[in-house]
Amino acid sequence: MTDRLRARELFDELGERLELRWLAGQRGATRVLERGEHLSRRPSLAGYLNVIHPNKVQIIGSAELAWLDGLDARNRWEVLQKIMDARPLAMVITQNQTCPTDLRDAAEESDTPLWTSPRRGYELLNLLQYHLARALAPRVTLHGVFMEIYSIGVLVTGDSGLGKSELALELISRGHRLVADDAPEFTQIAPDVLDGTCPDLLQDLLEVRGLGVMNIRQMFGDTAVKKNKYLRLIVHLVRAQDPSAEAMARITGESTSRKVLDLEVPVVELPVAAGRNLAVLAEAAVRLHLLRSKGMDPAAAFLARHSEFLLQGEAP
């Protein structure tokens, strides 16, 4: 789990794509941006030069340089001092514009990373905001097998020994895709989006008791695995109990929800028992979820039809 980002890491990750060059402040390569540090402040993680509410990555374009040039010597020195005192993670000059000498000197003296790029300001802004928000987004690791079933992300959970991996293997053989086994990582990249990925150590691997660790990509081909997927449904395997215990559950099914980070994710419980085809049931659960997401609930429709039937029977 990444809960901090250093200036050097940001430069290495985006340096080639944004064609960044380091102008000054190399000693500030270890400057750190903590997760959640920006939440209590008004500006975004990256933005155009802001002295009142300084962004963590300050983008300096032609308009910002012109504004600095319009200040008298004293005000200009005070502004540069405020910018450096705010300790931004880095500053980036757009379109390879000439860096003012006093700005370079101030960055060098304060160990503030100062970069330049041939890209335009809006390109830098979009890419930096997206990368920083994703790198520092809340994330969690859950136990289970994360699959793509009928184009939606489904996490299969349950106690050890209930057959999660066997179910995943059967689903893969039916044309569905594996994202991660055992420890998928979920990142909240938007208020209503959980993106699930696989740790590098477990990439393409699935462990099945009796068979050991298998490389799904090598066995089934590239189309059998997927790099990431949004989590939309959890299929939870449970041990079968007395079938007469919950009569209403026979009609409506066992549907609840589970809170993952800040989102409530629908959960469908599937009892595990001899003779039950869990792969078919998992596919049906996904199809039912897709129907419900469109406002169609067969169980509710049946109960409404049943009530109407009873009312008709009571009518004189």
Residues assigned a catalytic role = 143, 164, 182, 250
Alpha-helix residue ranges (DSSP H) falling in the chain: 7-18, 62-69, 73-85, 101-110, 121-135, 164-173, 216-220, 249-252, 278-293, 298-314
Sequence-ordered list of residues with C-beta below 8 angstroms from that of 191, at least 6 positions apart, any chain = 262
Q: Residues in the chain, how many?
A: 316
> Helix 164-173 and helix 278-293: axis angle, to 10°?
80
Q: Is 161 annotated as a binding residue?
A: yes
Q: Any binding-site annotation on 158?
A: yes
Q: Tell me whether residue 61 is annotated as binding.
A: no
Consult the annotation and say whether 165 binds a ligand. yes
Contact 5, 30 (CB under 8 A): no
Is 110 among the annotated ligand-binding positions? no
Tokens of 1: 């789990």
Q: Is 171 annotated as a binding residue?
A: no
Q: Can you tell me the distance from the alpha carbon of 59 to that of 75, in angstroms, rounded to the nearest whole number?
A: 20
Q: Which residues are annotated as a binding site for ATP?
A: 158-165
Q: Which residues are annotated as a binding site?
A: 158-165, 207
Q: Which residues are annotated as a binding site for Mg(2+)?
A: 165, 207
